Amino acid sequence: MISIDRDDPARGDVQQLLSEHLADMFATSPAESVHALDHSALSVPSVTFWTAREDGNLLGCGALKLLHSSAGQATDGELKSMRTTESARGRGVATLMLRHILEHARTRNLERVCLETGTEDYFAPARRLYARHGFTECPPFGDYVTDPNSVFMELRL
């Protein structure tokens, strides 16, 4: 049985998965277009981080970063660090994680969840996953700017 729980991004196996994630991002996108976070950036109070595990074995991770409005109230969230281990791909782990994060966003009364992903073919499965769950393309949000290597998406909750 796969369980999804809050976890520590600095945990050994998680840190290794995040390092692989960053390495893949830099291998597929220009450095200025890589917006993935390392374990320390995922450990701040505005980020909630989860892992998916089965019998203690890491299958994947994902995070939700709160985006604060000018009034200081979090109304939006940003999906971050969605990653599945190579051995777990094709098992629905990303779908389970995405649903878990969206449910958390709803319980926090967020109005929308946004994300940034790449335009390269490497990111096509991620874009399809998000589209299947109702995400649509949107303009850059937060501190992002228009970038030919980025696709911005949102889901109104």
Each residue of 48-61: pLDDT tens digit? 999 999 999 999 99
* Cα(140)–Cα(115) distance, integer angstroms: 9
The percentage of residues in the chain with a pLDDT greater than 70, rounded to a whole number, is 97
Between helix 93-107 and helix 124-132 the angle, nearest 10°, is 50
Q: What is the pLDDT of residue 71?
A: 66
**DSSP E strands, the chain:** 2-6, 47-54, 57-68, 74-84, 112-118, 136-137, 150-156
Long-range contacts of the stretch 130-134 (C-beta < 8 A, 24+): 130/98, 130/155, 133/95, 133/98, 133/99, 133/102
Kindly tell me if the per-residue pLDDT of 45 is higher than 90.
yes
Kindly tell me if the per-residue pLDDT of 69 is higher than 80.
no
User: Which of 3-7, 31-35, 114-118 is predicted with the least confidence, judged by mean pLDDT?
Assistant: 31-35
The candidate with the shortest Cα–Cα distance to 32, out of 124, 150, 154, is 150
* Cα(61)–Cα(65) distance, integer angstroms: 14
Q: What is the pLDDT of residue 30?
A: 86
pLDDT tens per residue, range 83-107 = 999 999 999 999 999 999 999 999 9
Position 70 confidence tier, pLDDT thresholds 50, 70, 90: low
DSSP state of 125: H
Instruction: Indicate the residue type of 7.
Output: D
Position 24 confidence tier, pLDDT thresholds 50, 70, 90: confident
